[in-house]
Amino acid sequence: MAFPENRLRRLRRTETLRSLVRETRLTPENFVYPLFVCPGKGIRKEVRSMPGVFNLSVDEAVKEVRETRKLGVLSVILFGLPESKDEVATGAWADDGIVQQAARAIKSEVRDVIVMGDVCLCEYMSHGHCGIVATAPQSLGAAAAAPPVTADYEILNDPSLELLARTSVSLARSGVDIIAPSDMMDGRVGAIRAALDKAGYENTPILSYAAKFASGFYGPFREAADSTPHFGDRRSYQMDPANMREAMREIALDIEEGADMIMVKPALPYLDVIAAARERFDLPLAAYQVSGEFAMIEAAARNNWIDRDRVMMESLVSIRRAGASIILTYFAKDAARLLA
């Protein structure tokens, strides 16, 4: 039927009617709250470019998880700032690493919360890259002890897999519920799955950052995690933002290697990738609303250019509408309060 018989505004008249026919819904259980954990005690240092986001000591991280749990946010993901860094990312896989300490404390003090562990080496490497680095003219079969600041370098894929697998087992041993590799090395899901199974953690799931793009939206995160590369960039291993079909290949390969869940990162600039992944794959699908997305909304709101809460919720609904059932977001607590 045509107008005037067909009037779509009939179901928009009141909030009760709009709620009744709403197609896309958010709940706090959809959210995963990222936490940056650092050494020390009683530390709660705000990240300059991310208002309301903090570097937290383990005791403060536990307090933060208690608060998120009360708000109905049942999942957190941990990123670590180690006391020292080296060329083999020792702080990532050491059993007394900062994330391992935080995981044990959280799991012992807060019930019914899911702790995810980000598996990447950039925060722990002295050079800030996500894998072992070799520099020319050295053979690519061995890593440089101290890579110079040069454009002539290579991120070694296969030697890095051993460190990623070792890190994953260490995190599982500390109580981490879900392993989330974000490094974008080829074959890392298979290597991690094999290592977890061998160590007796065959029931620990893997949430793969399957389509992680080489994005300009990561800047504030690199400040929060102290993970900016000292030379070069990550475009030789993170994805070209122009490539949709390649993203589908990356996801398919990770599923073949044993991923239990998949992720697209960033979220808002890649809603089409999220939608395509949801249409093509049946696994649980996550999206990461990254630091730059968060920072832009916060900055615009502080300049009174936008309604912060309204834009925050609209952005989260758009990610959910595109097909992501799990959203990693720094807005998790504030969104949960509004949903309550």
Count of Cβ atoms closer than 10 Å to residue 2 Cβ: 5
Q: What confidence score (pLDDT) does residue 160 get?
A: 94
Alpha helix segments (H runs only) across the chain? 15-20, 58-70, 90-93, 98-109, 157-173, 188-198, 219-225, 244-257, 271-280, 291-302, 308-322, 332-339
| List of domains in the chain | 25-129+156-339 (3.20.20.70)
Res 281: pLDDT: 98
- Residue 265 annotated in active site: yes
Low-confidence ranges of the chain (pLDDT < 70): 136-151
pLDDT, residue 335, reads: 98
What pLDDT score does 151 carry?
57
Q: What b-and-e string marks burial along 142-151, b requiring 16 or more CB atoms within 10 Å of the CB?
A: ebbeebeeee
Q: pLDDT tens across 296-307, in order?
A: 999 999 999 999
Work out whether strand 285-289 and strand 261-265 pair parallel, antiparallel, or are unpaired: parallel
- Mean pLDDT, the chain, rounded, equals 92
Nearest to 284 by CA among 114, 138, 45: 114
Q: What is the 8-class DSSP label of residue 206?
A: B
Count CB atoms within 10 A of the CB of residue 296: 16
Q: By C-alpha distance, which of 285, 301, 284 is closest to 293?
A: 301
- pLDDT for 221 equals 85
Between the CA of residue 181 and those of 68, 132, 178, 221, what are the distances in Å? 23, 16, 10, 16
Choose the catalytic residue: 45, 107, 198, 212. 212
Buried b (16+ CB within 10 A) or exposed e, 208-220: bbbbbbebebbeb
Write out the two tokens for 227.
Answer: 């993970």
Q: Is 212 a catalytic residue?
A: yes
Q: How many CB atoms lie within 10 A of CB 8?
A: 7
Give the Cα separation of 301 and 274 in Å (integer).
Answer: 26
pLDDT of residue 236: 84
Q: Are 207 and 263 in contact (CB under 8 A)?
A: yes
